[in-house]
């Protein structure tokens, strides 16, 4: 009788436990029918993160939802920054480093493309509403993650969390088989908000100031060395667009500073921090570019010195009136920096 039949002790215990479980869920959030209806009100979110014409990666979609849940609509400054990332920076995605795994093109599209549903989100979504505030409090009670010591740990969490996690099972138990991303994203946001925003701002500002100083200094050095190279080669056109690229990076830093000055939320800092880590590579690449340019200039300067020595000997011949007449009779004059203008480099 313990295990057999509809009235078995085991089934009775299971039934009582399940009823208590459902009662607690109802008490914490809402009834099953209410939950279904409430979730359906936000089903437009599915259209924002799923586009037949696009292929949005899950990791970037998670970050986009965190941003939309906290900010409701993309700020103009962040839009401008993401457009720079998409059109000018074109950062490489590094799947081995979660901080650099954000696809900024996808992020910009998710936050801007589906205007109709994004407008609906802006009008309807409110974390302080009766339903969502209860769902937020419910996820707080469920929070079962290691303490976050840095924002780096959060990227790792977001990358490696399984799709079939326990939050999805709670979402289903509440009655919301549609749009599990709603409860999952609120849970993710709850976890993100355990980080101190003020500490994040200080850390990001420190990194940003170091990068800005480094980029500004290396840009000056690159411009100077390119000018020297242009002069020695007697070129009229600019030899490289690299300084303009660095100027755009510095412009991005300026935009980031304006965002930070306007009390950004944690999800905004999550996006910004990823961009800043890419800027570290820009600094490293710029230093490599400068060293390569410097080496090219030094090599060419050495070549010019050799050519100038030969040219001096030729010029000396032209300085003798008799020799000059003989040389002109044989061919046109080859003085006045003739060899260098003909790009007659010396090979060794």
Spatial CA neighbour of 63 closest among 2, 122, 151, 133: 151
Dist CA 292 CA 282 (whole Å)? 15
Q: Given a cut of 80, is residue 176 above it in pLDDT?
A: no
* Token output for 55: 């292929």
Structure confidence at residue 270 (pLDDT): 96
Q: Is the pTM of this model over 0.95?
A: no
Helices 180-192 and 166-174 meet at what angle, rounded to 10? 130
190: Cα within 13 Å, side-chain hemisphere: 23
pLDDT in tens, 98-143: 999 999 999 999 999 999 999 999 999 999 999 999 999 988 988 8
Asked whether the beta carbons of 126 and 73 are under 8 A apart, the reply is no
Q: Which of 172, 197, 179 is nearest to 273 (CA)?
A: 197
pLDDT band at 204 (very low <50, low <70, confident <90, very high): very high
* Chain segment 206-236, per-residue pLDDT in tens: 999 999 999 999 999 999 999 999 888 888 7
CB atoms within 10 A of CB 189: 20
CA angle 196, 104, 195 (to 5 degrees): 10
Statement: residue 16 has pLDDT above 50: no
Reading the block at residue 208, the tokens are: 């940003």
Note whether 108 and 86 are within 8 A (CB). yes
Which of 234-238, 309-313, 317-321 shows the lowest per-residue confidence on average (mean pLDDT)?
Answer: 317-321
**pLDDT at residue number 293:** 95
pLDDT digits (tens, 9 = 90+) for 265-301: 999 999 999 999 999 999 999 999 999 999 999 998 8
Q: Which of 18-22, 191-195, 303-307 has the highest average model confidence (pLDDT)?
A: 191-195
CB count within 10 Å of CB 289 equals 20
Which pLDDT does position 5 carry in this prediction?
52
What average pLDDT does range 5-27 have in this prediction? 48
Q: What does the longest C-alpha to C-alpha distance in the chain come to?
A: 130
What average pLDDT does the structure give for the chain?
A: 85
């Amino acid at each position: 009788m313990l295990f057999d039949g509809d009235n078995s002790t085991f089934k009775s215990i299971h039934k009582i436990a399940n009823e208590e479980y459902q009662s607690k869920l109802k008490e914490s959030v809402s009834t099953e029918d209410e939950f279904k209806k409430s979730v359906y009100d936000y089903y437009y979110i599915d259209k924002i993160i799923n586009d037949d014409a696009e292929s949005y990666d899950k990791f970037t979609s998670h970050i986009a939802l965190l941003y939309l849940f906290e900010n409701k609509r993309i700020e103009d400054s962040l839009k401008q920054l993401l457009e720079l990332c998409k059109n000018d920076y074109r950062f490489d995605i590094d799947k081995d480093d979660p901080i650099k795994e954000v696809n900024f093109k996808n992020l910009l599209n998710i936050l801007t493309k589906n205007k109709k549903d994004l407008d609906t989100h802006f009008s309807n979504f409110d974390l302080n509403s009766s339903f969502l505030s209860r769902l937020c409090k419910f996820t707080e009670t469920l929070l079962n993650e290691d303490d976050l010591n840095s924002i780096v740990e959060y990227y790792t969490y977001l990358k490696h969390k399984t799709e079939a996690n326990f939050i999805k099972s709670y979402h289903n138990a509440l009655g919301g088989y549609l749009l599990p991303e709603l409860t999952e994203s609120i849970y993710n946001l709850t976890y993100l908000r355990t980080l101190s925003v003020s500490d994040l701002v200080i850390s990001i500002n420190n990194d940003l100031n170091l990068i800005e100083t480094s980029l500004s200094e290396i840009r000056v050095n690159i411009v100077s060395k390119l000018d020297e190279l242009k002069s020695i080669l007697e070129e009229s056109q600019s030899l490289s667009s690299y300084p303009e690229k660095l100027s755009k990076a510095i412009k991005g830093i300026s935009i980031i500073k304006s965002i930070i000055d306007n009390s950004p939320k944690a999800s905004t800092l999550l996006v910004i921090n990823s961009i800043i880590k890419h800027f570290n590579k820009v600094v490293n690449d710029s230093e490599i570019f400068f060293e390569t340019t410097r080496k090219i200039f030094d090599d060419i300067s050495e070549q010019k010195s050799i050519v100038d020595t030969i040219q001096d000997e030729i010029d000396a011949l032209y300085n003798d009136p008799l020799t000059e007449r003989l040389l002109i009779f044989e061919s046109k004059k080859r003085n006045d920096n003739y060899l260098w203008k003909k790009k007659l480099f010396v090979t060794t």
